[in-house]
Amino acid sequence: MTSSSASLFPRLAEEGGHAVPVIHQVPADGVFALLWVIIALPALGAAIILLGGGNRTKGFAHLLGCATVLGSFAISLVSFFALLGRDETDRSVGQFLWTWVDAGSFRADMALLYDPLSALFLLLITGVGSLIHLYSIGYMEHDERRARFFGYLNLFVAAMLMLVLSDNYLGVFLGWEGVGLASYLLIGFWQHKPSAAVAAKKAFVVNRVGDIGMALGTMLVFATFGTVAFAPVSEVAGEAPTATMTALGLLFLLAACGKSAQVPLQSWLLDAMEGPTPVSALIHAATMVTAGVYLVVRSNFIYDYTEVAQTAVVVVGTVTLLWGAIIGCAKDDIKKALAGSTMSQIGYMMLAAGLGPYGYAFAIFHLLTHGFFKANMFLGAGSVMHAMNDDVDMRHYGALQKAVPVTFLTFAMGYLAIIGFPGFSGFWSKDKIIEASFGESTLVGLCALVGAGITAFYMTRVMLMTFFGQKRWEEGVHPHESPKIMTVPLIVLAALSVLGGLLLFGDFVTDWLTPAVGAVAHHELAFAPWVFSLIVTVVVAVGVTIAWLTVGRNEVPRTAPQNVSFVTRAARADLYGDALNEELLMRPGDRFVTGLVGFDDKGVDGVVNGTGTAFAGMSGTFRKLQTGYVRSYALSVLSGAVLVVVALLAVNLT
């Protein structure tokens, strides 16, 4: 996309007291000319590995996979610093590649937009992606289909990069579907397990529902603005009717719910843990599931004009952060507990994104820190599973801190970060969101605060059950530390989990994002920010204490107790999300389809077959008229002639 369609100077549309930024792109030059390579590298890797076939690429696939992502990371890093060196008004770089679709009045370009928002995403995706790729070399070492695994991972990275780099909704949709596909392939990677195959299918189907929102939203954008590119839409967004903006906001929220596993489309994420653990870390914790947040933040020029949709985003975020947290409390499967936590944390991000310009930057900030510490913890969980012969039940763990010291330490860093231990990255990012949500509404703020407490509880529970207490190991399990290739990424991620908060130093991240998402003066709060921090810390401490009292002090049973409270049962059953889906959607659907099949079998086929039989019968009867005797033919000609003449006369002479 060239800058021809955008005005030369950024025009700030005034709306409700804050400035909605208008995207103004400058042509890509210098290092930015390499933007397309960032996507092309992993795409190429995927193409080589997947098209070349597992057997031919077995020997080098993992190296190639890592190399492409590392290459993309390098370019992203250089680009980032180049962008840093630019004027604040010049930080939207557009690169036009080619015209993708040109049909009548519809035109979509294959063009990239590199601005502060996508820059951060690039770093997260390629950076964390590289670490996880490296980790996977070790994790998947004994898998026969490791080459294919790396092919899929590269495919995912390419699609995800496409998603965040595209300068229009159609390109986003391409990436959106691409990551959906990769996610499907990777969840079902161990397709010999029926549970994995079912989980993959479930993820795919639920995501379809969200994709409808994305597709309809894209169409509505085109119908409203006549283009799907961000820049021109952001220029004229203020002139569109509010109802349209609300519709757009809700449609994109639906899309975000699907991809980011937000209530009511949350059910697939827990099952998605059937995939290999690096997949859970990369796709279902750090990157893909945050695409919904990206979409909302990127569409800030839509949400800023519709309070209804913003409120909906806040509601969805708040409900999900509690929902995920509660589920996380009851899970014995370490990955599912972490998955619940992921849902919950993304809920925080959505909540922040729903707060408008005030919250966008914090949403992204939390997204980054979460990417670090959650990837760290997932990989840590993978390392633990590696040690425990792929057992995921925490009731079979215990007292692992000595057996896997590196894993323990790195996991602990992640743990401290997520519960918001002062000084750790999560502390800074979550604190800001809670503070901001109190600015929005006390109820929302309280929910967020309670969520923080629950988070502290269940994460402490995970920590205690895994690393402390008594050994509850299965027989024949001899835990051992993972190889270097796995621990080094853990260490790097642990460091990032600790230090991620530095991004907020001097309000760097909020200032940095201002050109992309806008900025607004902070709300007036009832208390000073440090009071909030104190309250949050206290609540977290309460959560930790409760966990210590209930889990840490007591013996953990090797099998889950059955005579538990209703709340626990509900949480174990994912708060009946699946049951609800089944009852509300699947059963009626089933009944409807059964009815249709019955109607088709009896009604439609009956009519068709009946008609067929009737015609065949008629045919059989009338063919007897074809006697083969000329005399009868002549008679039929004669009677036909008489009929014709008589009919003509009768009709016209009466």
Partner 1 sequence: MTTLAVSPLLSESVGDFTKPSIEYFDLSPLLIIIGVALAGVIVEAFVPRRLRYVVQTLVAVVGTIAALVMTVFVALGLEPRGDNAGFGAIAAEGAIAVDGPTVFLWGTILVLTLISVFLFAERHLEGGVTAFAGQAAALPGTEAEREASTKGLEHTEVFPLMMFAVAGMLLFPASNDLITMFVALEILSLPLYLLCGLARRRRLLSQEAALKYFMLGAFSSGFFLYGIALVYGYAGSMNLGDIAEAVSGTIGADPLLLGGIGLLAVGLLFKVGAAPFHAWTPDVYQGAPTAVTAFMAACTKVAAFGALLRLFYVGFGAARWDWTPMIWVVAILTMATGCVLALTQSDIKRMLAYSSIAHAGFILTGFVGLNAVATPGTAELTSLQAVLFYLVTYGFMTIGAFAVVTVVRDSSGEATHLSRWSGLGKESPFVAGVFAFFLLGMAGIPLTSGFTGKWAVFTSAWQGGAWPLVVVAALLSAVAAFFYIRVIVLMYFSDPVGEGPTVVMPSVLTTIVIAVGFAATVALGVVPGPVLDLAAHAGQFVR
17 sits near partner 1 (criterion: CB under 8 A): no
Nearer to partner 1, 527 or 633 (CB): 633
Burial of 566 (0-12, 13-18, 19+ CB in 10 A): exposed
Which CB, 30 or 606, lies closer to partner 1? Answer: 606
Give CA–CA dist 511/455, Å, rounded. Answer: 29
- Kindly indicate which of the ranges 167-175, 337-345, 579-587, 641-649 contains the residues binding partner 1, using the contact rule CB under 8 A: 641-649
Using CA atoms, how far residue 327 sits from 204, 262, 306, 418, in Å, is: 22, 13, 32, 16
Q: Does 607 bind partner 1 (CB under 8 A)?
A: no
CA 624 to CA 637: how far, in whole Å? Answer: 16
Q: Given the rule CB under 8 A, which of 157-165, 286-294, 494-502, 616-624 is the region that contacts partner 1?
A: 616-624
Q: What is the 3-state secondary structure (H, E, C) of 76-143?
A: HHHHHHHHHCCCHHHCCEEEEEEEEEEECCEEEEEEEEECHHHHHHHHHHHHHHHHHHHHHHHHCCCC
CB of 106 to partner 1, least distance (A): 24
3-state secondary structure of 359: helix
Residue 636 sits in the site that holds partner 1 (CB under 8 A): yes
Q: Stretches 263-271, 555-563, 587-595, 642-650: which one binds partner 1 (CB under 8 A)? A: 642-650
Determine, following the binding rule CB under 8 A, whether residue 30 of this chain makes contact with partner 1.
Answer: no
Single out the segment in contact with partner 1 by CB under 8 A; choices: 218-226, 291-299, 405-413, 619-627.
Answer: 619-627
Residue 609 binds partner 1 (CB under 8 A): no
To partner 1, the closest distance from the beta carbon of 627 in angstroms equals 9
Counting contacts by CB under 8 A, is residue 639 touching partner 1?
A: yes
Stretch that binds partner 1, among 42-50, 335-343, 514-522, 639-647 (CB under 8 A): 639-647
Looking at 63-71, 284-292, 308-316, 623-631, which segment touches partner 1 (CB under 8 A)? 623-631
User: In 10 A of CB 20, how many CB atoms?
Assistant: 23
In this chain, which of 37, 502, 531, 644 binds partner 1, going by CB under 8 A? 644
User: Looking at this protein, which amino acid is placed at residue 471?
Assistant: K
CA distance 512 to 102: 35
If one asks whether residue 478 binds partner 1 (CB under 8 A), the answer comes out as no
Please identify, among the stretches 61-69, 382-390, 552-560, 610-618, the one whose residues bind partner 1 according to the rule CB under 8 A.
610-618
Which stretch in 163-171, 269-277, 316-324, 621-629 sits in contact with partner 1 by CB under 8 A? 621-629
Please give the DSSP secondary-structure letter assigned to residue 101: E
Q: State the number of binding residues for partner 1 (CB under 8 A).
A: 30
What's the N-to-C CA distance of the chain in angstroms? 77
Residue 542: exposed, middle, or buried by beta-carbon count in 10 A (0-12, 13-18, 19+)? middle
Residue 261 makes CB contacts below 8 A (sequence gap 6+) with 268, 269, 289, 320, 342, 343, 346
How many CA atoms does the CB half-sphere of 322 hold within 13 Å? Answer: 13
Q: Which range, of 272-280, 309-317, 368-376, 625-633, touches partner 1 by CB under 8 A? A: 625-633
Q: Shortest approach of partner 1 to residue 653 CB, angstroms?
A: 5
Q: Is 626 in the site for partner 1 (CB under 8 A)?
A: yes
Question: Residue 428 class from Cβ within 10 Å (0-12 exposed, 13-18 middle, 19+ buried)?
Answer: buried
Taking CB under 8 A as the rule, does residue 634 contact partner 1?
yes
Query: Interface with partner 1 includes 619 (CB under 8 A)?
Result: yes
Please tell me whether residue 605 binds partner 1 under the rule CB under 8 A: no
Instruction: Quote the tokens at residue 563.
Output: 């005579």
Residue closer to partner 1, measured from CB, 567 or 649: 649
Within 519-538, the residues that bind partner 1 by CB under 8 A are none
Task: Please name which of 529, 507, 361 lies closest in space to residue 439, comparing C-alpha atoms.
Answer: 529
Q: Does 616 bind partner 1 (CB under 8 A)?
A: yes
CA–CA gap between residue 384 and residue 231 (Å, rounded): 46
In this structure, the chain runs to a length of: 654
Least separation in angstroms between CB 222 and partner 1: 29
Among candidates 591, 482, 411, which has minimal Cα distance to 140?
Answer: 482
Which of residues 4 and 619 has its CB atom nearest to partner 1 in the complex? Answer: 619
> CA 37 from chain center: how many Å?
24
589 near partner 1, judged by CB under 8 A: no
Q: Which is nearer to partner 1, 597 or 638 (CB)?
A: 638
Contact residue for partner 1 among 59, 589, 595, 612 (CB under 8 A): 612
d(CA 100, CA 170): 10
Min. distance of Cβ 279 from partner 1 in angstroms?
A: 45
Smallest separation (angstroms) from partner 1 to the CB of 603: 18
116-124, 498-506, 595-603, 636-644 -> range binding partner 1 (CB under 8 A): 636-644
Q: How far is the CB of 33 from partner 1 (least distance, A)?
A: 45
Q: Does 604 bind partner 1 (CB under 8 A)?
A: no
Of the candidate spans 48-56, 386-394, 595-603, 643-651, the one that interacts with partner 1 by CB under 8 A turns out to be 643-651
Give the C-alpha separation, 314 to 459, whole Å: 24
Give 639's contacts (C-beta < 8 A, 6+ positions apart): none
Exposed / middle / buried, residue 100 (Cβ in 10 Å: 0-12, 13-18, 19+)? middle
Determine, following the binding rule CB under 8 A, whether residue 630 of this chain makes contact with partner 1: yes
* Contact call for residues 396 and 558 (beta carbons, < 8 A): yes
C-beta of 402 vs 623, nearer to partner 1? 623
**Could you tell me which residues come within 8 angstroms of residue 98 by beta carbon, excluding any fewer than 6 positions away?**
109, 110
Query: Under the criterion CB under 8 A, does residue 613 sit at the interface with partner 1?
Result: no
CA distance 213 to 1: 25
Nearest to 503 by CA among 129, 120, 161, 165: 120
The interface mask with partner 1, positions 406-425, x = CB under 8 A, is --------------------
What is the nearest approach in angstroms of partner 1 to the Cβ of residue 635? 9
How far is it, in rounded angstroms, from Cα 629 to Cα 497?
A: 99
Distance (Å, rounded) from C-alpha 176 to C-alpha 157? Answer: 12
Is residue 599 near partner 1 by the rule CB under 8 A?
A: no
Q: Does 103 bind partner 1 (CB under 8 A)?
A: no
**103 vs 651, beta carbon nearer partner 1:** 651
Q: 70-99: which residues touch partner 1 (CB under 8 A)?
A: none
**Residue number with CB closer to partner 1 (528 or 653):** 653
Listing DSSP states for 428-467 in one string gives: HHHHHHHHHHHHH-HHHHHHHHHHHHHHHHHHHHHHHHHH
557 binds partner 1 (CB under 8 A): no
Residue 640 found at the interface with partner 1 (CB under 8 A): yes
| Residues contributing to the site for partner 1 (CB under 8 A) | 612, 615-616, 618-620, 622-623, 625-626, 628, 630, 632-634, 636-641, 643-645, 647-649, 651-653
